[in-house]
Structure 1
Amino acid sequence: MSRLITRRNFLRTSAVSGSGLILAGCDQFDFLADKSGPARQIMERANVLTYSVQRAVIGEQTLAREYAASEIRQGMRPNGSVDPTTPEYLALKEANFAGYKLTIKGLVDREVSFSLAELRNMPERTQITRHDCVEGWSCIAKWTGTPLGPLLDMAGVKSTARYCVYHCFDNIQRTLSGDILYYTSSDLIDAYHPQSILSYGLNDEVLPVSNGAPIRLRIERALGYKQPKYLHTIELVDDLTPFGKGRGGYWEDTGYDWYGGI
């Protein structure tokens, strides 16, 4: 198969084609826009089934494969946005991220914030893992950062929380009505997974801007679009529908699978 037909292009084309048919007035495709319709509900249940099967087969705490340093053959390939231009991010970058804060809020006992220096001074984890992109390429790299689970415990996650929503500085799309900022989400199982780290180091160097500085979340059992770059806020919620188009992430809003597990 030609590499020009990537998984991302296929998903994007499928979503756009479906939208175009609806806008063109083809009544037979109206069910695609009806979230309460039976066909849409079947599609939603299929995603839930896939997620449930993967959870049952893989297990909640099973680790993603880790590699030897000798298997790192190249630098980590940047992808997506490589240099956000939001004023807040530009100011932080100019000051070498001295004023950066990671905030955990929402359904927590207490809102907490951590500077980059504080995150770097916490117990760290280093892991050499393979990044799998939905476009079809992979890259092995070494990531160093602070495990997310203990930070969530510091905030005190409420029993009603079901998801973490990850908010980023990344203005991945610019429109006439303003910037659209990247976001994605995960369940608490992935958030508390031992390999889920707030990475500030890449291949024994400070995480570059092109790869998500100052903080990039690594959820190692998921595809690349579930590894948000330029992260600034983690919001604990019980429902994903208030965010974006209600699908749980920027790419998920265009038709990508929410779980994105591998």
Structure 2
Amino acid sequence: MSFDLTRRRFLIGSSVAATGLLTGCDAMVESTAVNDILQKAEGLTMGAQRLLMSQHTLAREFSEADISPVFKGNGTTQPDSEDYARMTENKFADWKLVVNGMVKTPLNLSLADLKAMPSRTQITRHDCVEGWSAIGKWMGVPLGLVLEKAGLAPGARYAVFHCADDLEQTLDGSGRYYESIDLVDAWHPQTILAYGMNGRDLEVAHGAPLRLRVERQLGYKHAKYVMGIELVDSFRNIAGGKGGFWEDRGYEWYAGI
């Protein structure tokens, strides 16, 4: 485990312990007092990271020899929908990435369109909140180039990634995965829309045809099966309003490492 990740968990854990409310994960998620403390710790983590590092400071990159022999697929490994099954059958020939919301020019980009844009290849470590890590080689288009192509409308603050996978059926009948990052991370040089992994097209278990790589954050921020990117000024009208599938269920929105 990296020093940054250990330090981050220590800061959050210490804050919670100081309240005397360590009564189990479920109780913590349901406790308003604990949630308030976690949100403050999250803000401290983000503020400290942004203060100490340049907006363009890179996450560590590795060599080909460091690539993990096994990089397990976590979360959803096969979206359960007829639409996605049809897309896999024709190798995503009809798939389009929709870019909309607070943009000047809405986009519908095919996989070929994205592959025709300038690309970036990076070998980085994926740190999962479950405690495991793996190193993979990713190839894709920098997210910033896609956003530049769309052009941001005044007031846009966040990029929201809408995905093809349902992790669970919640009370409103939808467990559709989504994630979001702010524009600082959106324009980071290592934030890419990856369509390749370890020299091959992205496999279904790893998010085909497109997944987000935001290398300075934990794995649950790296949305798989990306179908659309929506530029917004807030999350208030999206799902649970916290900026992500897991965030709506108690995780931190900013998962910096």
Shift of 1:244: 1.8
1:204, 1:155 → 2: CA distance? 28
2:60, 2:35 → 1: CA distance? 35
Other-structure match for 2:251: 256
Other-structure match for 1:89: 84
Is this contact kept in 1: 2:45–2:256, CA < 8 A? no
Other-structure match for 1:17: 27
Task: Mark the CA change 1:187 to 1:176 in structure 2 (over 3 Å): closer, same or farther.
Answer: closer
Shift of 1:72: 1.1
2:249, 2:25 → 1: CA distance? 6
Give the number of aligned pairs: 237
Give secondary structure in 1 for the equivalent of 2:78: coil
Indicate the larger mover: 241-250 or 43-52. Answer: 43-52
Q: Which of 218, 232, 235 in structure 1 is aligned with 2:230?
A: 235
Is this contact kept in 1: 2:160–2:178, CA < 8 A? yes
Is this contact kept in 1: 2:102–2:230, CA < 8 A? yes
**Given the two structures, how large is their TM-score scaled by the length of structure 1?**
0.84
Q: Is 1:121 matched up with 2:116?
A: yes
Other-structure match for 1:67: 62
- Which ranges in structure 1 are unaligned for 5 or more consecutive residues? 1-6, 23-28, 33-37
**Given the two structures, how large is their TM-score scaled by the length of structure 2?**
0.86
Q: Is 1:49 matched up with 2:44?
A: yes
Shift of 1:53: 1.3
User: CA RMSD of the aligned region, Å?
Assistant: 2.1
1:117, 1:183 → 2: CA distance? 24
Amino acid at match of 2:226: L
Other-structure match for 2:5: none
Shift of 1:54: 1.2
Other-structure match for 2:17: none
- Which ranges in structure 2 are unaligned for 5 or more consecutive residues? 1-8, 14-22
Other-structure match for 2:200: 205
Is this contact kept in 2: 1:75–1:141, CA < 8 A? no
1:197, 1:98 → 2: CA distance? 21
Task: Mark the CA change 1:97 to 1:39 in structure 2 (over 3 Å): closer, same or farther.
Answer: closer
2:154, 2:171 → 1: CA distance? 40
Task: Mark the CA change 1:45 to 1:220 in structure 2 (over 3 Å): closer, same or farther.
Answer: same
Task: Mark the CA change 1:17 to 1:109 in structure 2 (over 3 Å): closer, same or farther.
Answer: same
Which deviations, in whole Å up to 9, do the C-alpha atoms of 1:44-68 show, x marking residues without a partner?
Answer: 3332222111111122110111000
Other-structure match for 1:159: 154
1:152, 1:81 → 2: CA distance? 27
Is this contact kept in 1: 2:206–2:224, CA < 8 A? yes
Task: Mark the CA change 1:92 to 1:14 in structure 2 (over 3 Å): closer, same or farther.
Answer: farther
2:201, 2:52 → 1: CA distance? 36
Task: Mark the CA change 1:120 to 1:75 in structure 2 (over 3 Å): closer, same or farther.
Answer: farther
Q: Is 1:223 matched up with 2:233?
A: no
Shift of 1:159: 2.6
Is this contact kept in 1: 2:39–2:252, CA < 8 A? no
1:71, 1:171 → 2: CA distance? 33
Other-structure match for 1:101: 96
Task: Mark the CA change 1:175 to 1:163 in structure 2 (over 3 Å): closer, same or farther.
Answer: closer
